[in-house]
Amino acid sequence: MRIHRGGPAVAGIALCLGALVACNGSSGTSGGGEAAGPPTAGAASPGAGGGKSPASAQGDARSLDGKVIVIDPGHNGGNADHPSEINRQVKIGNGSKACDTTGTETRAGYTEHAFTWDVSKRLAGILRSRGAKVSLTRKDDKSVGPCVTERAALGNRLKADAALSIHADGASASGHGFHIIEPLSIGRNSEMVSGSAELGEALRNAYHEGTGIPYSNYLGKKAIDRRDDLGGLNMSTVPKVFIECGNMQNKGDADKLSSASFRQRIAESLAEGFQTYLG
């Protein structure tokens, strides 16, 4: 989630209006695109990294009928070419932050925004197959934004049962593993903090078991970090967390995140986390 590429400024307005993104369809620099602040910190086969095969991969038929879930794929493919737009400051409840950011990428050039978009689409498909009503905060991987505040606002408008912002980190190459970011109360979001903690624990356990990716060795305690500087969490009124699925600057993590079959495994594991929380 860290890093930032710039490009020529082009006029335009942060794309995804709530009506657009509510279709059925980014912590380092994540946060629906927020820069996370310090620490900024061999190719895997489908089952690489250990972990048990998620129940969904075995034809889990449990139902999420009627549950409303918002998936927020961090960043967007057009952000780098619109620096003036994504650097615009927005109010996040206890201060201001950039509307969005560009995200990070692996050393081989696989971008965080492409990763989050791919995993989000896979996850949405699994959840919909179980009866959930799923909305994504952006409609493609070539537009700009939306701002972190708009990403939170979608879940609020839909009165989502749960929301997840998907990212990958850009920390030091020595750092590896995943972590969940949960909200701290800033007052306006106080009622969603306890539910977010439950959601975070369910997703952490399912992700760790299903993918075999270890807990982060550089941030958080048992893969849980709590923050009050991310607009995507501060402005949410529904249970919501972020996940940093791995560190794109670490070769082992990058190899896994770059594998399509492993991204499917990620999606299946996250679906199990939602199943535990909402079931």
Q: How far apart are CA 33 and CA 31, in angstroms?
A: 5
> Quick one: DSSP state of residue 5?
-
* Residue that is written with structure tokens 């982060």 in the block: 216
Residue 85's CB is within 10 A of a number of other CB atoms, namely 22
> Quick one: DSSP state of residue 57?
G
- Peptide bond just before 39 cis, omega within 30 deg: yes
* From 201, 244, 268, 272, the catalytic residue: 244
Q: How far apart are CA 249 and CA 49, in angstroms?
A: 17
Helix axes 260-278, 190-211, angle to 10 degrees: 130
> Quick one: DSSP state of residue 213?
P
182 flagged as catalytic? no
Query: Which one-letter amino acid corresponds to residue 243?
Result: I
Cite the active site residues.
244
